[in-house]
Amino acid sequence: MTRVLHSVCLSLLIPALICIQANAQEIKPASGNPLDPKYNELVDFSRVNAEKIRQATSSCIARANESNKRILSVPDAGRTFANTLAELDNGSNMLNQLSSIYEVLFSASPDKAIRDEATKASQLISDQLTEQSLNEDLYKAVKSYASTAEAKTLGGERKYYLDKLLRDFSRNGFALNKSERDTLKTINNKITELSLEFNKNIAQDNPGIIFSEKEMNGLPEDFKKSHLQADKTYKLDVSYPSYTPFMNYAKSADARKKLYLLKTNVAAPKNDVLLAEILRLRTKKAKLLGHPTYSDYITEGIMSKTPKNVWDFETKLKNDLRVKADVEYKNLLAMKSREAGKPQTTIYPYDTWYYTTMLLDQKYKVDEEKVKEYFELQNVIKGLFDVYQRIYNLSFEEDAHPSVWHPDVQAFRVTDNASHKMIGYFYLDLYPRENKYKHAACFPITCSRTLAEGRQVASAALICNFPKPTPAEPSLMTHSNVSTIFHEFGHLMHTLLNETELSTFAGTNVVTDFVEAPSQIMENWVWNKQVLSLFAKHYKTGEVIPSELVDRMIASKNATSALFALQQVFYGTLDFTMNDGFVIAGPHSIPDLVKQLQNSITLYPFVEGSHFETSFGHLTNYGSQYYGYLWSLVYAQDMYSAFAADPLSPETGKRFREMILAKGGSDDALNLVRNFLGREPGNKAFLKNLGLEETKAPAGINLSPRK
């Protein structure tokens, strides 16, 4: 296993870092059940097995019920924040933490028994959370507390929590009678069950495909060698280290189409069946709660407020992008026509990466294979650490003997340089393998919150799929890969740098149409010359990436930005349409909708036989909220304007850490942005980032204060 950093103080590797081993707070694996860490213990992943999962689940549910009993045993006259609201937050945290651990296990454990048991246990935990959200006695306890003199004096996070609880109980059906609430509970549990199955199907569908020498024409030799079989054929799968280079360089359109269809049929057709039932149940739930559609129910509680605001956002952005997208499409078409030696009329989805790569190479002189030579994985990780440690005044130290779920996984302690206290712990699971989550994401595990013993150390994992180094070849990352890990590490910092009192608001527990902003902002760092000079070094010579190459990369940044953004509009519109009154008339309803929207929004025609929706996990995880990726990008780019003069400014980093990351979801997201910027947010930076001129109104989003 190639390690990112050796187990020494990082100052030996990166001069800007501080050696913190002597000051590191001791934090050890759980002493009891490995899945039940006590105060500032870690999950002992190496001791996990199916039986431990069953035990931990049973124990956690029992303790959550005991917590509920304690709340209900308090007489109304004796209710306080501590014995009612804080106790409720603590009970929810127990369940949510175990659920988060199980999500890591069923997404990344190599042990099938563990994955299967974690999936089943997740359902039980979800059922318990649903039970609590619909518990009328708990609702009455909170209502009773709300009428006390103490409750009327609450301010800040505590008042925000009380208001949220009352709103959530209302949204959870307490205007319903007992029979209707029981129906709602059944619906919620079934949605969770189907969603878990949907994502499990994606993780466990590992299709492979064999290509001939001719079909590999155009691929780099090192890529071909890594996929060569004994019979001189080549075996590929649909993980990103395999899929992306092939779609970038394979000259055969037929071969690209074969791999595209393989990838867009992961978990098909069974996930179409599950998705149809999930959508039906969401609609039933929304109507039971007095909303015409699930989208109406969802937007009520987040930044967008109403479906109309989302539709206005998507529609206006689609129109704003269209002119630039048409130009970009014609540029790709010109590349295809030139290669074919005759006029071409269509760019298919399996053509896009290939001709974009060609465009970057020929027009902008950006050869992605050459660019990769400056982004060796270890150097990228060091640079990533350097950036985050500088701007947030932190130190990272590798744990030499971590308890992990796979030998490839590394773990690191995070110490605050100002207080010299350990504040976080994170895992890196960087390489693809069978039965592992196929994309890149941050998985929160333990949230930081205030306890009687002190401040809880937060923990989280980055689960990714970057090329794994071999004895002959290092791991070289595309610039897009570099952007991805900076983005996901932004989520991780949001988790670890939380300073809220309550777990309910910890870290990434923010409204879903803002949650991406603190990670999207970090993608800007990988386009900055000053930052790239820290770590973008040729893996053989050590030469810093040439300034003129970075200039060409920056010039090419928006070569297909409108086409890419239109694709995001398509994803967001598809997700929102499915949940905003879509009627499922039969088994082909969902594929037909995908085809219709792809053909009307993007410039790439639908490919018959494809079912991308069956492997698009966001349709369950972000139901009716995928639009938030572009919505939150408006805020991310505006916040980055504060860093523009100096992206490594510790002063600006301190303000961002304290005013955005530390606050988690403890205040309205729009208030957080306003406070950080010192003004109302706008869309100028967002439009500039896409290469669009500023329009007379924000790009489909009303950034004025909302009632």
Q: What CA–CA distance (Å, rounded) separates 278 from 618?
A: 13
DSSP-derived 3-state class of residue 432: coil
| Residue 435: Cβ within 10 Å count | 18
Structure tokens at 696: 């007379």
* Catalytic site includes residue 197: no
Which of 660, 282, 20, 583 is closest to 652 using CA atoms? 660
* Residue carrying structure tokens 């053909």: 599
Q: What CA–CA distance (Å, rounded) separates 328 from 567?
A: 13
Cβ neighbours for 116, distance < 8 A, ≥ 6 positions apart:
50, 106
Structure tokens at 675: 């406070």
Q: What CA–CA distance (Å, rounded) separates 651 from 645?
A: 12
Q: What CA–CA distance (Å, rounded) separates 396 from 391?
A: 13
**With contact defined as beta carbons under 8 Å apart, do 685 and 669 qualify?**
no
| Residue 452: Cβ within 10 Å count | 6
Q: What CA–CA distance (Å, rounded) separates 441 from 488?
A: 6
DSSP-derived 3-state class of residue 530: helix
In DSSP terms, which residues pair with 398 in a beta bridge?
A: 412
Q: What CA–CA distance (Å, rounded) separates 529 from 224?
A: 32
DSSP symbol at 406: S
CA 240 to mean position of chain CA atoms: 16
Which listed residue (376, 488, 516, 613) is catalytic? 488
Which of 399, 669, 333 is closest to 515 using CA atoms? 669
* Residue carrying structure tokens 């609450």: 154
Cβ neighbours for 54, distance < 8 A, ≥ 6 positions apart:
117, 121
DSSP-derived 3-state class of residue 424: strand
Q: What is the DSSP pairing of strand 410-416 with strand 454-455? A: unpaired
C-alpha distances (whole Å) from 338 to each of 28, 125, 128, 335, 350 are 61, 57, 61, 5, 18
Q: Which residues are catalytic?
A: 488
